[in-house]
């Protein structure tokens, strides 16, 4: 009985962790990375310990993979190049900032696996794939089903497509100000060693004629 009760408690704890605690931690991580801004599109995948969110207002794209092991990756909207949607491991939609587009109108009658791929202008990490639905997700946390995953993929696709249709804002760089010219050391030394100009001789004091002490004595003899 004790072993059976312990096994039941372990199962209940794992269900709580995967369905409540883990998704809440991922949502808090996304919220912190966005600086409190509300994302227009967000996907939380606690089974894969991953999340993806975009906020056009905050100009941020958040990527979380291997939650708890790797830090969140941040991009700006200008770093986004395009998006691809895979259904049953085949590309059914693609939109790129430069290049051919494939609109989301050719969907397989049976959906077994749904994946989205975001493409970035980043040589180190040029893309990121997030599985929205997998056949093994039937009994996992937040299992929405293949059709719900397709609706989420549609939201991502049309949101990114709307962003890419907008022209990229030009980055205004400040005009550098030239510093004042620095005098050459030779000129500074020459100025310092030059003798000071001689002052003119002081003029003798002018004697007043009405001064009795300075008057000649002959007229009074």
Give the pLDDT confidence of 144-177 residue by residue, as tens digits.
678 888 999 999 999 999 999 887 655 545 555 6
**In angstroms, how far is the first alpha carbon of the chain from the final one?**
152
**How long, in residues, is the chain?**
221
For residue range 4-49, what is the model confidence (pLDDT) as tens digits?
A: 776 776 666 555 555 556 678 888 899 999 998 999 999 998 888 8
Domain residue limits at 58 = 10-165
* Residue 101 lies inside a defined structural domain of this protein: yes
* Residue 155 lies inside a defined structural domain of this protein: yes
* Residue 190 lies inside a defined structural domain of this protein: no
* Residue 184 lies inside a defined structural domain of this protein: no
Q: Structure pTM?
A: 0.66
What token pair was written down for 104? 């989301």
> How many CA atoms lie less than 13 Å away from 83 in the CB half-sphere?
23
Distance from chain centroid for Cα 27: 19
* Residue 214 lies inside a defined structural domain of this protein: no
* Residue 5 lies inside a defined structural domain of this protein: no
* Residue 81 lies inside a defined structural domain of this protein: yes
* Residue 137 lies inside a defined structural domain of this protein: yes
> How many CA atoms lie less than 13 Å away from 208 in the CB half-sphere?
4
Please name which of 82, 107, 108, 105 lies closest in space to residue 95, comparing C-alpha atoms.
82
Number of domains in the chain: 1
- The residue that leads in pLDDT, 190 or 64, is 64
pLDDT at 175: 56
Average pLDDT over residues 115-133: 94
- The residue that leads in pLDDT, 135 or 217, is 135
């Amino acid at each position: 009985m004790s072993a059976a009760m312990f096994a039941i408690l372990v199962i209940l704890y794992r269900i709580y962790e995967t369905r409540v605690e883990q998704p809440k931690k991922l949502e808090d991580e996304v919220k912190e990375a966005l600086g409190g801004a509300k994302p227009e599109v967000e996907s939380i995948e606690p089974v894969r310990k991953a999340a993806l969110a975009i906020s056009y207002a905050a100009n941020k794209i958040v990527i979380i993979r291997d939650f708890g092991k790797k830090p969140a990756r941040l991009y700006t909207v200008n770093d986004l190049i395009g998006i691809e949607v895979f259904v049953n491991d085949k590309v059914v939609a693609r939109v790129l900032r430069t290049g051919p587009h494939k609109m989301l109108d050719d969907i397989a009658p049976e959906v077994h696996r749904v994946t989205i791929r975001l493409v970035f202008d980043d040589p180190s990490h040029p893309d990121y794939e997030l599985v929205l639905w997998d056949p093994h997700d039937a009994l996992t946390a937040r299992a929405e089903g293949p059709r719900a995953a397709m609706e989420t993929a549609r939201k991502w696709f049309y949101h990114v497509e709307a962003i890419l249709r907008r022209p990229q804002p030009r980055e205004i760089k400040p005009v550098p100000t030239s510093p004042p010219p620095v005098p050459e050391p030779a000129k500074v030394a020459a100025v310092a060693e030059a003798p000071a100009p001689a002052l003119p001789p002081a003029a003798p004091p002018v004697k007043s004629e009405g001064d009795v002490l300075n008057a000649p004595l002959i007229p009074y003899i």
